Structure 1
Amino acid sequence: MKLSELLKIVEGEIVVNSGVNPEEIEIEKVAASDLMSDVLALSEPGSLLVTGLATPQCVRTAGVVGIPVVLIVRNRDIMPETKAAAEMSGVVLCVTKKGMYEVCGILYNTGLKPVYAQ
């Protein structure tokens, strides 16, 4: 699913684009966590990270494991430091007003696959 389509479905918006066209990003798998240690251990490059954390650490963690897009739920305020981390990491940073449970359900019902531990 294209990122632009995904954002329409979850009523999300891009906060930091990092110079990437949302039409060019294809999302097939989703990881959802507020524990960055789980993201480091279980995520796959190219997946979407859904999180309630709005800190620079979540963006840096995504960049380390090759996650191109972070979607922050619950309409959190995004700190300037988090935006700067997204720009430096090349991660697209998005927000939605919806909660994590709802977002995960919506994305699962669209056919996106979960990221599993191997």
Structure 2
Amino acid sequence: MKLSRVQELLKATVLCNDRLLDELEVNAACGSDLMSDVLAFVKDQGMLLTGLVNAQAIRTAEMMDMRCVVFVRGKLPGPSVVDLAAEKDIVVMSTPYSMFTACGTLYAGGLVGGTIH
């Protein structure tokens, strides 16, 4: 699924790297506020949905080769978090939806969860 479609489905605001929306595709996503769980159990995810609005979310996405972080519940990260994501070519969005609704909306739109190890 192209990130432009993710933005549309989630009614999301793009906070950085909007130039990549039509270029990048993701095949799976995960939702978590615990970055330790993402690091320990998630594999082959293209996108992270989280309510954790600090640099740790971006660093985790970078380590896991994720191309997009979506902050749920209308949360907005500070400028330093957005700058870090911009530097790493990670698309950052904010959706007004809850984690449950955002994940369900993406699933209904054709995006699946990935492998958990």
TM-score (norm 1): 0.90
* Distance across 1 between alignment mates of 2:44 and 2:19: 16
Counterparts of 1:46 and 1:83 in 2: how far apart (Å)? 21
What is the rounded CA distance, in whole Å, between the counterparts of 1:93 and 1:99 in structure 2?
16
How much does 1:101 deviate? Answer: 0.6
Cα deviation, residue 20, structure 1: 4.3
TM (normalized to structure 2)?
Answer: 0.91
2-structure distance, mates of 1:83, 1:69: 12
Runs of 4+ in 1 over 4 A off after TM superposition: none
**Equivalent in the alignment of 1:8:** 8
Letter in 2 for 1:96: T
Asked if the contact 2:14–2:92 (Cα under 8 Å) also holds between the matched residues in 1, the reply is yes
Match runs of 1:34-113 below 5 Å: 34-45=33-44, 47-113=46-112
Structure 1 distance, partners of 2:115, 2:43, is 9
Task: Please give the secondary structure, in 2, of the residue aligned with 1:93.
Answer: strand
Q: How many residues align?
A: 117
Q: CA deviation at 1:73?
A: 0.5
Counterpart amino acid of 1:62? A
Listed one character per residue, the Cα deviations across residues 40-68 of structure 1 (whole Å, up to 9, x for unaligned) are 12333451100011111100110011001
* Pairwise CA RMSD: 1.5
Indicate the percent of aligned positions where both proteins have the same amino acid. Answer: 32
Q: Which runs of 5+ in 2 are unaligned?
A: none
- 1:38–1:20 distance in 2 versus 1, CA, 3 Å: farther
For structure 1, list consecutive stretches of 5 or more residues without a partner in the other structure: none
Amino acid at match of 1:44: K
Give SS of 2:48's match: strand
Task: Give per-residue Cα distances to partners, 1:67-118, cap 9 Å, x unaligned.
Answer: 0100001111221121122123221111111111100111111221102223
**Could you tell me which amino acid in structure 2 is paired with residue 52 of structure 1?**
G
> Retained in 2: the 8 A contact 1:76–1:95?
yes
Give how far 1:15 is off: 0.1
